[in-house]
Amino acid sequence: MVLITEQNNRDRDESGRPRNTRARDALGRPLPAGSAGVPRIPDDLDLPPARSLSYAQDLLNQGLAFNAHEVLEAAWKNGPADERPLWQGLAQLAVGVTHIQRGNVDGAITLLRRGSLHLDTVDQPRPHAVDVDGLLAWAAALVDDLDAGADIATPRLRPALTVTPG
C-alpha cells in the first residue's frame, strides 16, 4: 500500500519511506499521471545474486539501464554487508549509463567514476563471477571518450556484468 501525505503530496509506503508510483519512461523519467510507461521494478525485489545479475543484464541489453539500476540497487540493499561495494558499484555504473542515455555527460562521468571506485575495492576472487576487471576497463574507456566528446554507440552501453565461462 502507498500513502500520499497531504504535507508534501509525495508517495510514501507504510514505513514513511518516499515512493514514486508514477509511470516512468524507458530512461526512468516520470511520466504524466495516467501514462503507461515501462514495467516497474518492484520496491521489495529480493532475488538471489545470480538472478539479480541475469535480470540486470537482460535489462541493460534491452536499453533499460535505469531498470537495471533498480535491480542492482535492490541487491545492494538486501545483500550481505561485505558485498555492498560490489552491488553499489554495479548500480552506479547502470546509473552512469542512464545519464548517457539522457544526454547528461557530466552526470554519467561522475557515476561511472563513483561506481568504479566501489568496484575497485572488491576482493579477489570476485563474487558471483562479476567481471570487475572488465567493467573497470569498460568504465575507464567510456569516461575517456565522454571527456573527449566522442559519440557513444548504443552497443557500448551494454557491458557484460559477468565473466562467461569457457
Residue range 121-163, pLDDT digits in tens = 998 888 999 999 999 999 999 999 999 999 999 999 999 999 9
The CA-atom distances, in angstroms, between 17 and each of 69, 80, 132, 135 are 19, 22, 32, 32
Q: For the chain, which residues make up each domain, given as ranges?
A: 49-157
Q: Where is average pLDDT lowest: 8-12, 17-21, 34-38, 149-153?
A: 8-12
Q: What backbone torsions phi and psi does residue 34 show, to the nearest 5 degrees? A: 90, -10
- Check whether 166 has a pLDDT greater than 70: no
Q: What percent of the chain has pLDDT over 90?
A: 69
> 26-55: per-residue pLDDT in tens?
888 888 888 888 888 888 899 999 999 999
User: What is the distance between the alpha carbons of residues 96 and 1, in angstroms, rounded to a whole number?
Assistant: 31
Domain 49-157 has CATH 1.10.3450.10: yes
